[in-house]
Amino acid sequence: MTEIKICGLTCKEDIDIINEFPITYAGFVLYVPKSKRNLTLEQAQQLKAGLKESVKTVAVTVSPTKEQVELIQEAGFDVIQIHGSLHREVEQYVKIPVFRAVNVETEEDIQKVMKEASNKISYFVFDGRTPGGGETFDWGMLKKMVDNTTKIMLAGGLTDKNVGEAIRLLHPGIVDVSSGVEKETGKGKDKEKIARFVKAVFNR
């Protein structure tokens, strides 16, 4: 069964909403100053402490340093999601599962990231051009380049309107949504949108 990750949580209200639904992963953006969803490590720790025990916490980063990886692990996150570069000297310090993300524009983007496969990478995250930007990409391109053994996590422009189609086409282990369940103001998650998204995932 496909699991759900809600990304870009920023406030206590988001946490309260997540706790009401069968969400497997909660994502917190760290060390990405240009993101409107960026948090300090201390802010993320305070928020994740309020999650129900069944929810796994994901630290979402871009090209993290060794020091940042170590701080994330010390803070007790369950998973680290890495966009940008993953240097070998950094990877050797990773002790928790990795969601390795790529922003898909071409087939080469997909090929390049899949060459990084290792026992530390539990899922490949195939995202739109801009993380959290609400843009989809050509799912058909991904479909022809993966097989049933590929651990797919799909992100980028997912909503309750298209996630059912995405699951039928690609059978991802996880679907990842952020902007697709945000309030119209862009600040905080929308409970009704999350309810519709969850229903679309599980009641196809």
User: Under 8 Å CB-to-CB from 43, ≥6 apart: which residues?
Assistant: none
Question: 109, 127, 160, 176: which is the annotated catalytic residue?
Answer: 127
Cβ neighbors of 145 (< 8 A, separation 6 or more) are: 107, 110, 111, 114
Active-site residue identified among 7, 14, 160, 176 = 7
The residue behind tokens 């090929």 is 111
Is 11 known to be catalytic?
no
Q: Which of 132, 138, 135 is nearest to 109 (CA)?
A: 138
Take residue 186 and report the two structure tokens written for it. Answer: 């862009």
201 CB-near residues (< 8 Å, 6+ apart): 2, 4, 163, 164, 167, 175
- Contact partners, residue 197, CB within 8 Å, separation at least 6: 4, 158, 159, 160, 163, 177, 180, 181
DSSP characters for 105-157?
Answer: SSHHHHHHHHTT--TTEEEEEEE-SSTTS-----HHHHHTT--TTS-EEE-SS
- Catalytic positions are 7, 127
